[in-house]
Amino acid sequence: MKTAFFLLLAVISSLDSIWRWRQSAFHLGTFLMYCITAALWIYTFFHKPIDLWCSSGVGRIFKIILWIGVGITVVLMAFLHWSGSRVPPDGTEKAIIVLGASVKNNAVSPVLAYRLDAAYDYAIQNPESLIVVSGGQGADETIPEAQAMAEYLIQKGIPSRRILKEDKSQSTQENFLFSKELLSQNGVASADPIVFVTNRFHCYRAEGYAKRAGFENVRCIPAAIGPRSVLPSYLREVFAVLYFWCFA
């Protein structure tokens, strides 16, 4: 029964991994999903000797450390989810900063489309707010993310005069540093209220970088995310937040 259960999990995980390999960009989150798939296959066929090894000595210590790590990861994922709605906008924001994500074949990715749709909804309700689309050009991208983002919003009906393109940044930290400079050139001070848009899992770290860049009154709009992207995105962000706390 145990073998059959883990075999089923391994098959499902393998099908998911094949889909990610064909459809999704490679990053730490997808790598971790591949690792989970490999671990499920290994445990399916070798669970008896693995269980025996984990029952005493070094194996037992390893098992305890592993479960502690899993517990910490789950707690951090829950914290990141909660943080996404901790500082909502109130409609007084003078600018919206939309953080970039991958662009493929000159079109925004599904993750980025969620962000832009959320920004669009806010922009329609707050027509006086400037919109900064922030994202440079990655090595595998043919145009800057900011350009694709601006075109997406214009196609949805946002006037081009409301949109400022920040197309040099290569990280979340640079998104805010360069956007702050662009906004200051257009009459928005660091003390003015602004709101940034990113996916819920990313809000906590993005808020930290926004404050480090000098924004004093910052709020967040948490955009949705596709079901298939939830687990790899949150797993990747856990490691990104740990790095942010320790080294950034």
In the chain, domain spans? 2-83, 95-246
Give the distance from CA 178 to its chain's centroid. 19
How confident is the model at residue 86, as a pLDDT? 85
Residue 139 has pLDDT above 90, yes or no: no
| Cα separations in angstroms, 35 against 3, 31, 39, 101 | 19, 6, 6, 24
If pLDDT is split at 50, 70 and 90, which confidence band does 3 have?
Answer: confident
Residue 25 has pLDDT above 80, yes or no: no
If pLDDT is split at 50, 70 and 90, which confidence band does 191 have?
Answer: very high
Q: Does domain 95-246 have CATH number 3.40.50.620?
A: yes
Q: 151-176: per-residue pLDDT in tens?
A: 999 999 999 999 999 999 999 999 99
How far is it, in rounded angstroms, from Cα 157 to Cα 159?
6
